[in-house]
Structure 1
């Protein structure tokens, strides 16, 4: 197989593995591109678009939840309306801030050392939160009060720094605001749908002409998309089961080790 397509498959695997884990999919894609000798900026749009493959995995796995919410909305069921309200409200801060700081965020996408440092800092933060947080009050997405949903939405914006992790920020933010572990993880999954869809649409609107470039064409994007979808299907259920039993400490240590290793590698190369 052509080396280019092997790279596409590898990046799709990295995206599917890391999109819903608190380890930063964007950070891993940037580091992977550096490791493979590719310019991260050249692959930036590819990296954003294949995230839709991982997002589609959420829809496929939780279609019954979305169906129930849709039917509840049609019948005026209050829980379904609160579910939708909480997702939309949590999405708004990222939409507004992402549009306002789009150029500055793009500059960070070409800074692998920022990713390495953010991995370490995020790992330490997860260890601290896991040690300090002992109680939970909210066991359903529709049960989370509006003020706390707004807080989660703003915390998600920290993930605009590559290496922070969107899922990590939203999950840890939810935990600190009293949300139970499984609910925090699933809220992060569902919130990824409008957030990443919005990011992909914005990227396509600004750089759609680059899809047909020699670096990343439609065939590469399709292959990366399918790969990310399949891998994410496998990861999501495993992740929910793991955090329900063991929490997030293993991911914290992974972040710290990966970040230190990346810093050493980037300093020596």
Structure 2
């Protein structure tokens, strides 16, 4: 069954990593509902490593942009400012992750916490989308260092509250700071490359022996599935936000959160730690 678990994990990761509905929440809940028998360290490492597939999907989707920016970065100030902003935006997550990551996993990775994060995040998303504020930033090269840092700070909400969603916090944070929906979404994709890619690569290097317990073929299956599904999800989300708002995702989050709380109340789902 290891191949089946890897496949489902890859599908869930690919769909949810860049949608504002929490990949972490869906992955830990999927593992709990399937009753995945892997040891804790294997499961935790696998979930992080297959994020690498989703990150590669961003690189594949925007490869022309990245190639051009690589050529321009030595002489083009807007490109330099964009990537300096991305680096600065990653710093809060790195600091908090190193300082509190283990404590958060030990105490907050449980279904009830994820459920309330989904619900609260959905309500906040609805409120932000209901505002009548005209965005002032329409290109990621116009974001600036200060706004990028603020988005990076807001992104850490997903780290501090499992289930809130890195994509949701960075996209909504960008919109609050004046980015239009499409620009905030694209910047969230870009920001995910160093934030999640670094974590996935580090875990893979440190934990190859651990992952060997379920077979590197199954790890590859999960990562490749995540890549393919995430690539499709990126294209879909960009088309979606060009003509729609995020209120549908807000409703989805609240409904899923309520369902999880009902499952906990009826003892169908255990509320024990998922980490």
> Which residue of structure 1 aligns with residue 163 of structure 2?
163
Instruction: Tell me the secondary structure at the aligned position of residue 43 of structure 1.
Output: helix
1:112-131, aligned counterparts within 5 Å? Answer: 112-131=111-130
Of 200-209 and 253-262, more deviation after overlay is shown by 200-209
> Which residue of structure 2 aligns with residue 23 of structure 1?
21
> Which residue of structure 1 aligns with residue 11 of structure 2?
13
How far did 1:104 drift? 1.4
Kept in 1, the 8 Å contact 2:155–2:166? The answer is yes
| Aligned-residue RMSD, C-alpha | 1.6
Distance 1:202 1:193 in 2: 13
Distance 1:252 1:235 in 2: 18
> Which residue of structure 2 aligns with residue 185 of structure 1?
185
How far did 1:162 drift? 1.7
TM-score, normalised relative to structure 1: 0.93
Kept in 1, the 8 Å contact 2:151–2:170? The answer is yes
2:2 pairs with one of 1, 4, 21: 4
Q: Relative to structure 1, is the Cα distance of residues 71 and 8 closer, same or farther in structure 2, using a 3 angstrom cutoff?
A: same
> Which residue of structure 2 aligns with residue 223 of structure 1?
221
Asked if 1:245 is matched to 2:243, the reply is: yes
Distance 2:107 2:22 in 1: 14
Asked if 1:54 is matched to 2:59, the reply is: no
Give 5+ residue unaligned stretches, structure 2: 269-275
How far did 1:203 drift? 3.3
What is the count of residue pairs matched by the alignment?
Answer: 264
> Which residue of structure 2 aligns with residue 256 of structure 1?
254
Kept in 2, the 8 Å contact 1:23–1:165? The answer is yes
Distance 1:174 1:133 in 2: 15
> Which residue of structure 2 aligns with residue 203 of structure 1?
203
Kept in 2, the 8 Å contact 1:9–1:227? The answer is yes
Instruction: Tell me the secondary structure at the aligned position of residue 130 of structure 2.
Output: helix
> Which residue of structure 2 aligns with residue 70 of structure 1?
70
Of 252-261 and 105-114, more deviation after overlay is shown by 105-114
Q: Relative to structure 1, is the Cα distance of residues 248 and 108 closer, same or farther in structure 2, using a 3 angstrom cutoff?
A: farther
